[in-house]
Structure 1
Amino acid sequence: MSVLMEFAIFPTDKGDSVSKQVSKVIGLIRESGINYQLTAMGTLIETDELPEALALVNSCYEVLEKDSDRVYCTLTMDIQKNKHNRLTSKVESIENKIGKVKK
């Protein structure tokens, strides 16, 4: 199984810049060993099971809630059985198709 999840989580009570708090979340994700990709608007992860993905979101929340009265989170998931490594293979598939397009 492949659980692709894109999520953004950040405190809303820390002013305009929350990079200090978000960097703590990314550090936790990095230490977890879960495959991830940081983007300007959120983070993509891929796990083998849904509970693992949801547990990661909960851990990220716990990092932020220690110093925040309000935390905002969005998440989108694509869950597919009998698939793996979609975090990179989906992007590679598009890049390969773009390379084959004639100008």
Structure 2
Amino acid sequence: MSVTMDFCIFSMSDDSKSEEIAPIIEYLRKKNIKHKLGAMGTSVETDDLKSALKILNKANKLINKDRVYLVAKFDIHKSRNDNLKYKVKSVKKRLKEGNSKEI
């Protein structure tokens, strides 16, 4: 099973957002959780939904502010692993083959 989660979390204060996000990325690295940092959020891959929700809870605790904004999206795939790489690889393959439609 693969649970891919994309999330964005930050406080509603004027504090630096990079100062809030860096400890979350350090936590993911320390726990060897597959992740990819993006400009508008972070993607992670876990084995189950409970583990993904645990990451959100930990991120909230690491920010430790009175008010926090959090958005999360999930792709729960029971018969696939390594979804973070697979999804990107699949799109790149279609682009290379010229199978993308222009708008």
Give TM-score, length-normalised by structure 2. Answer: 0.90
| Greater than 4 Å deviation, 4+ residue runs | none
CA distance in 2, matches of 1:85, 1:19: 27
CA distance in 1, matches of 2:70, 2:91: 28
Could you say which residue in structure 2 is the equivalent of 1:2? 2
Equivalent residue runs for 1:19-98 within 5 Å: 19-65=18-64, 68-98=65-95
CA deviation digits over 1:24-78, x for unaligned, max 9? 111112212110000000000011111011111101111111xx11111100001
SS of the equivalent of 2:26 reads helix
Q: How many residues align?
A: 99
SS of the equivalent of 2:79 reads coil
Q: CA RMSD in A?
A: 1.3
Q: Could you tell me the percent identity over the aligned residues?
A: 36
Q: CA deviation at 1:17?
A: 3.3
